[in-house]
Amino acid sequence: MSTVVKTTIGEAKHHFGETVTIGCWLHGKRSSGKIQFLQVRDGTGFMQAVAVKNEVSETVWEAASRLTQESSLYITGVIREDTRSKIGYEMTVENVEIIQISTDYPITPKEHGVDFLMDHRHLWIRSPRQRAILVIRAQIIRAVQQFFDERGFHLVDPPILTPSSCEGTTNLFHTKYFDEDAFLTQSGQLYMEAAAMALGRVYSFGPTFRAEKSKTRRHLIEFWMIEPEMAFVDHEENLQVQEQFVAHIVQSVLENCKKELETLERDTSKLEQVKAPFPRISYDDAVKFLNDNGFEFEWGEDFGAPHETAIAQSYDKPVFITKYPTSLKAFYMKPDPERPDVVLCADLIAPEGYGEIIGGSQRIDDPALMEQRFQEHELSKEAYQWYLDLRKYGSVPHSGFGLGLERTVAWICGLDHVRETIPFPRLLYRLYP
Ligand code: 4AD
């Protein structure tokens, strides 16, 4: 019986000098006639395995020669430290056991167009770059959970099928719920407000759907949002949680994903500066800044991507734009008591042109004002009776926010487009694969 250890590429660093077996795929191959350099991958990483003709049996040499891109195999050999290798070690091959020979793998080392790659997304995610992005995405999710778990928040799951809207009715996905009408959730916030009244500090992490006819590098139809909601927390305290939260995520990726950031050739010098506190600029001052810098922008308009980018360029860190006009924002935001034409809200704009990653606010807690907003926005009181109850039975000041996961991944990874930030993106004209 063989006693060879079965391990992974990632764990092989603990087996220098030992013979191990690794289940893997062939990523690429070079041959000098007498030596075959096999680049193998197993999900945990990429490693070079070297087969020397004079040192292996003819059968093993032939098996190695037959391997094509993405063939699957068990490879056995000695792990040797090698300082020239990116991972610090490689394998000297002793045995190759083919599981399946892959023929005509469609993604070759040559350049492919975006549409071709998107049609083959199920295979594209095997590439070193796409793997690095998905590993960083997973690390961001880990950092999110760690941040909230360490601060006494409870994870709460709001529903995905809902009877009414949260962020306005223009971009809802409609479906039938037996005989009733239903919509896919645009935000779990209203339910999270109910949960905060029960558990104090809560957060959700789930899919969000927006039927937006926007074909931009920042818009997905289905994206994932993290939505904390906190009882007895005001606007200013809400901003403090946000800056600590975002700084924690960035620092956690810098610490735990060095190799992946290298694979993406991400310049991390700006990310290293992302520590609390973040700068704040009011909507009023942002309007003034834009007009002083060549834009024609009127108070009351909403910022587009070029405006956000221009504002963000003045800062090295993410910047909060606070207190937007009441008319621009959602019905539930609390007006500034000193100036009711603006609300106690903030959008957090990422540096380097990545745009808004967080939207948040203090919520209206006064029942009379909430009723007034329902009339102004022509919302059905019957449909939202449960939400109005929250202002009737022990209403308290409370605040929360939503962080878009994919825009955060795009920023931290330095990607041009959100389509690479999620395993299977849902875009305006893409539902496949
Ligand atoms: O600003 P939004 O619409 O806020 C809300 O939905 C609030 N109810 C959140 C809350 O307070 N609990 O969205 C929040 C974030 C945005 O800043 C952005 O990062 C992301 O969600 N986002 C999108 N990401 C990708 N594609 C889209 N179409 C997005 N729309 C919003």
223: Cβ below 6 Å to ligand 1?
yes
Residues found in the chain: 433
The reported pLDDT for the residue numbered 2 is 60
| Alpha-carbon distances of 413 from 133, 271, 344, rounded to whole Å | 7, 10, 31
Measured in angstroms, how far is the CA atom of residue 404 from the centroid of ligand 1? 6
- Residue whose Cα lies nearest atom 1 of ligand 1: it is 359
The reported pLDDT for the residue numbered 133 is 98
Measured in angstroms, how far is the CA atom of residue 54 from the centroid of ligand 1? 60
The reported pLDDT for the residue numbered 1 is 53
Give the span between the Cα atoms of 102 and 72, in whole angstroms.
Answer: 8
Query: In degrees rounded to 5, what are phi and psi of residue 419?
Result: -60, -25
Task: Parse the chain into domains and list their residue ranges.
Answer: 5-100, 121-420
Bridge partner list, 47 = 40
225: Cβ below 6 Å to ligand 1?
yes
Measured in angstroms, how far is the CA atom of residue 147 from the centroid of ligand 1? 20
pTM beyond 0.90: the answer is yes
Measured in angstroms, how far is the CA atom of residue 208 from the centroid of ligand 1? 9
- Residue whose Cα lies nearest atom 22 of ligand 1: it is 404
Instruction: Kindly give the number of the ligand 1 atom that is closest to the alpha carbon of 358.
Output: 17
Fold of 121-420: BirA Bifunctional Protein; domain 2 (3.30.930)
Give the span between the Cα atoms of 4 and 19, in whole angstroms.
Answer: 6
The reported pLDDT for the residue numbered 127 is 97
Closest by Cα among 69, 11, 62 to 40: 69
Q: For 281-301, give one letter per residue: b (16+ CB within 10 A) or e.
A: bebeebbebbeeeeeebeeee
- Residue whose Cα lies nearest atom 27 of ligand 1: it is 219
Q: Are 195 and 218 in contact (CB under 8 A)?
A: no
The reported pLDDT for the residue numbered 166 is 83
Mutate which of 164, 187, 415 for ligand 1? The one with the most ligand atoms within 8 Å of its CB, which is: 187
Instruction: Please work out, in degrees rounded to the nearest 5, the angle formed at the alpha carbon of residue 24 by the alpha carbons of 23 and 27.
Output: 170
Edge-to-edge strand ranges of the sheet holding 180-184: 161-162, 180-184, 174-177
Q: What is the CATH number of domain 5-100?
A: 2.40.50.140
- Residue whose Cα lies nearest atom 15 of ligand 1: it is 404
pLDDT in 10s for each residue of the chain, 433 residues:
567 999 999 999 999 999 999 999 999 999 999 999 999 999 999 999 999 999 999 999 999 999 999 999 999 999 999 999 999 999 999 999 999 999 999 999 889 999 999 999 999 999 999 999 999 999 999 999 999 999 999 999 999 999 988 888 889 999 999 999 999 999 999 999 999 999 999 999 999 999 999 889 999 999 999 999 999 999 999 999 999 999 999 999 999 999 999 999 999 999 999 999 999 999 999 999 999 999 999 999 999 999 999 999 999 999 999 999 999 999 999 999 999 999 999 999 999 999 999 999 999 999 999 999 999 999 999 999 999 999 999 999 999 999 999 999 999 999 999 999 999 999 999 999 9
Measured in angstroms, how far is the CA atom of residue 302 from the centroid of ligand 1? 15
